[in-house]
Amino acid sequence: MNLKGVKPRTHLIMDLLLFVLLMLVAFSTLLEHSLPQQAIHTRFMLHVIHGMTGIAMCITVGIHLLIHLPWIRSQLERWITNRG
């Protein structure tokens, strides 16, 4: 897989998407746990939002790592050669 042609705009979009997903995961959890026990339906909806955005975030992190795989490999090779 040749990903050297990934444009900086793609990196920016991925970073912004990860940031938005992280905020959704965090705020849905904070809101869910700050609501009273009687707000069952709202808490359930926030729980669903938390789960869906968490899955989307995991997928986005995986794609993000794939995009940066050439850099990760070069850093590992550099680390291995400097150790020996």
Q: Is the pLDDT of residue 7 over 90?
A: no
One-letter-per-residue 3-state SS of 9-34: HHHHHHHHHHHHHHHHHHHHHHHHHH
Cα–Cα nearest to 29, from 2, 54, 6:
54
Instruction: Kindly list the domain boundaries of the chain, sorted by start residue.
Output: 8-83
* Side-chain half-sphere exposure of 46, counting CA atoms within 13 A: 17
Distance of alpha carbon 63 from alpha carbon 25, whole angstroms:
18
* Side-chain half-sphere exposure of 37, counting CA atoms within 13 A: 0
Residue 11: the pLDDT is: 86
Residue 8: the pLDDT is: 82
Tell me the per-residue pLDDT of 12-56, one tens digit each, with 9 for 90 and over: 999 999 999 999 999 999 999 998 988 899 999 999 999 999 999
Q: Once rounded to an integer, what is the mean pLDDT over residues 60-79?
A: 92
